[in-house]
Amino acid sequence: MLRKEALALGLIHYQGDKPCKAGHATLRLVGSGECVTCKKERTATYHRVNHERVRELKAAWKQRNLVKERLRQRLVARKRKQDPKKKAESLKRWRARNIPRRNAYSAWRRSAKLRAIPQWADAKAINSVYELSRQLTKTTGEAHHVDHIIPLVGVSVCGLHVEYNLQILTSFANLSKGNKLPY
């Protein structure tokens, strides 16, 4: 089809008679005559080269169009929820980002089950121990665990899930300690 014909029909895209200069046989834009693959590549290159500028423009647009932006985000979230594959992927990403929080959370739940958390427990202080443990794992490359100095389920005594009953051990030290008391 010729561009003129497509224009007369009021189309946005049309199938050209021959491939574009780059050899793409894809649809072309009626407005410019450019092939959509070329346009996509051109846009991608522009974004790569000018990513700072693009980011600024996007942020400025969002500032000017807060309502539209919120609607867009809601639509994206809804679509993600509908797609089980995307939902699983986003959950996986969230989990990867929140490993210390998850470790802290599972320890918290385990401790709650054992009634080892007193009313006055300082959740922030406890969580920061888990965060520090993750940092150590990251910086040293050796796995670190958060251990209860006095085990939550000891033979003679049971410890509490509070920050001063927590210590950070390498996984090797932790596994060899087992459920023993420190003294």
Task: State the residues that interact with Zn ion by CB under 5 A.
Answer: 20, 22, 24, 35, 37-38
Q: How far is CA 100 from CA 15, 90, 128, 178, in A?
A: 53, 18, 9, 21
| Nearest to Zn ion of 38, 129 (CB atom) | 38
| Rounded to 5°, angle at Cα 9 from 5 and 13 | 80
**CB closer to Zn ion out of 28 and 148:** 28
Q: How far is CA 166 from CA 101, 160, 169, in A?
A: 16, 9, 10
| Distance of closest approach, residue 29 Cβ to Zn ion, in angstroms | 11
Tell the burial category of 94 from Cβ atoms under 10 Å away from its Cβ (0-12, 13-18, 19+). exposed
Of 26 and 90, nearer to Zn ion (C-beta) is 26
Shortest distance, position 93 Cβ to Zn ion, whole Å: 34
Write down the least CB distance from residue 128 to Zn ion, Å.
Answer: 55
**Least CB distance to Zn ion at residue 11 (A):** 18
Which segments within 51-143 are labelled E, that is strand? none
Closest separation between CB of residue 24 and Zn ion, Å? 3
Between 27 and 150, whose beta carbon lies closer to Zn ion? 27
- In Å, how far from its chain's centre is CA 68? 24
How large is the greatest C-alpha to C-alpha distance in the chain, in angstroms?
90
C-beta of 29 vs 143, nearer to Zn ion: 29
